[in-house]
Amino acid sequence: ETGVTQTPRHLVMGMTNKKSLKCEQHLGHNAMYWYKQSAKKPLELMFVYSLEERVENNSVPSRFSPECPNSSHLFLHLHTLQPEDSALYLCASSPTDVGYQETQYFGPGTRLLVL
Amino acid sequence: QKEVEQNSGPLSVPEGAIASLNCTYSDRGSQSFFWYRQYSGKSPELIMFIYSNGDKEDGRFTAQLNKASQYVSLLIRDSQPSDSATYLCAVREAGTALIFGKGTTLSVSS
């Protein structure tokens, strides 16, 4: 596969469930990102990882827990979510996290519904 | 709070017309500017980027940047129904991730 892949593509979970979202990039990039996209809102940056180290965390509730075991893989662990967490979760990557001329390439997203 | 503002639309244009999408940003330190297209239910895909004041053309697309006015726009010439999508403006300064606007929905009628 090429580019940025995400699994699962769709997820329905109850508020007491624990699930994980997975992202994998095949571009040789060193930076990876999680974004949340809700209806009528801008894309919200959640986490930034550079070379497996978290470099930015935008006041995200602790019920979202990221993990970056290596520069190609990024996970988002979910537990005790709320219905307002239902959204499209997008993973992205870029060559580094500091190059202002670098663009970010997005995966297809995981559509999450919390019941 | 760094902000990127876009008119949510919908912007409706007939097939073959020029579509003009606008974006303003609050942070004067912003150094690079990106336009993404997002079809319904899909992820954003990069259309163009621009770093310097002036115009940058790529096929039917032209990006225009005016840093003094903190304004960036995207022109789509000869609009096609397949151009119907939400267009996201994003800005970036060195050392930060992209900051996105809410997007403008474009509808091209045949």
Has residue B14 got a pLDDT over 80? yes
Has residue B2 got a pLDDT over 90? no
Question: Cβ A43–B51 below 8 Å, yes or no?
Answer: no
Residue of B nearest to A42 (CA): B102
- Determine contact: A84 vs chain B, CB below 8 A: no
The C-alpha of A36 sits at a distance from chain B's nearest C-alpha, in angstroms, of 11
Q: What are phi and psi of B81, to 5 degrees?
A: -55, -30
Q: What angle do CA B82, B84, B85 make, to 5 degrees?
A: 120
**Is the alpha carbon torsion for B101, B53, B21, A95 positive or negative?**
negative
* Residue-wise pLDDT tens digits, B71-84: 999 999 999 999 99
* Residue-wise pLDDT tens digits, A62-108: 999 999 999 999 999 999 999 999 999 999 999 987 777 788 899 99
Question: Cβ A104–B100 below 8 Å, yes or no?
Answer: no
Residue A49 pLDDT class (50, 70, 90 cuts): very high
Read off the amino acid at residue B50. Answer: I
57-96 in chain B: CB under 8 A from chain A? 88, 92-95
Beta strands B104-109 and B11-14 are parallel
Read off the amino acid at residue A32. Answer: M
Residue B30 pLDDT class (50, 70, 90 cuts): confident
Read off the amino acid at residue A78. Answer: L
Q: What angle do CA A42, B49, A74 make, to 5 degrees?
A: 55
Residue A1 pLDDT class (50, 70, 90 cuts): low
Q: Which two tokens stand for residue B99?
A: 């900051």
Q: Which two tokens stand for residue A8?
A: 């699962």
The C-alpha of B92 sits at a distance from chain A's nearest C-alpha, in angstroms, of 6
Q: Establish whether the linkage from the previous residue to A69 is cis, with ω within 30° of 0.
A: no
